[in-house]
Amino acid sequence: MAPGPEVSCGGKEGSEVSFLCILGGIMIRFYDIKAYLDVIAAKNGHLDRSPHGRFWGDYTTFTTGQVPGVGIPIMDQGNPLQSPFYLILTNPQGFQGIPQMPPGGPFITDEGYQATLPNGTQITGAQIATNIAQWLSNQFPQ
Is residue 89 helix, strand or coil? Answer: helix
Q: What is the DSSP letter of 73?
A: B
pTM tops 0.85, yes or no: no
Q: What digits encode the pLDDT tens for the residues 84-97?
A: 999 999 999 989 99
* Average predicted confidence (pLDDT) for the chain: 81
Helix (H) or strand (E) holding 27: strand 25-28
Q: Are 47 and 64 in contact (CB under 8 A)?
A: no
List phi, psi (to 5°) of 32. -70, -45
95-101: long-range contacts (C-beta < 8 A, 24 or more apart)? Answer: 96/72, 98/70, 98/72, 101/40
What number is the average pLDDT over the span 58-72? 89
Residue 16 has pLDDT above 50, yes or no: no
What number is the average pLDDT over the span 19-46? 78
